[in-house]
Amino acid sequence: MPPNNRRKHPRIGYDMPLSYSVSILDFTNLKPVEVFGRGVDSNEDGLGFFTDFPLEPGHVIRIKQDDGSYISASVKWVGEIDGRYRVGVLLYK
C-alpha cells in the first residue's frame, strides 16, 4: 500500500441501489425516515454511497440487506456533490 493512502482496507466497487432508515429528532420526537441511495464502494468495515438525504456524521442508519434483514452503521463523513451527498459509513459487526 502506498504511504500516502490512509485507507486500511482496499475498496471494492459496489454499484447497487440500497435502502436505509435513519431516525431524525423532530422537536422532542424521533421520526423514522426511509431513504434510498446508490452504492459506490465497500470494504470489510464500511460502505460508500450517494443519497439525496442530508445525513450527518454521527447518524446511525439501518441498511436493508437483500434477505430483508438490516445491518446498522455509523455515518463517518459526508460530502456534498452537485446537490447530492456522498456518504461513508462504518458497519457495526
Sketch out the chain's domains with CATH numbers. 12-91 (2.40.10.220)
pLDDT average, residue stretch 20-25: 84
Please report the pLDDT score of residue 3 as a whole number. 45
**What secondary structure letter does DSSP report for 30?**
E
pLDDT of residue 6: 63
The pLDDT tens digits of the residues spanning 30-84 come to 778 899 999 998 888 999 999 999 999 999 999 998 899 999 999 999 999 999 9
pLDDT interval class at 86 (50, 70, 90):
very high
List the one residue out of 14, 23, 13, 8 whose CA is nearest residue 56.
Answer: 23
Beta bridge partners of 31: 24
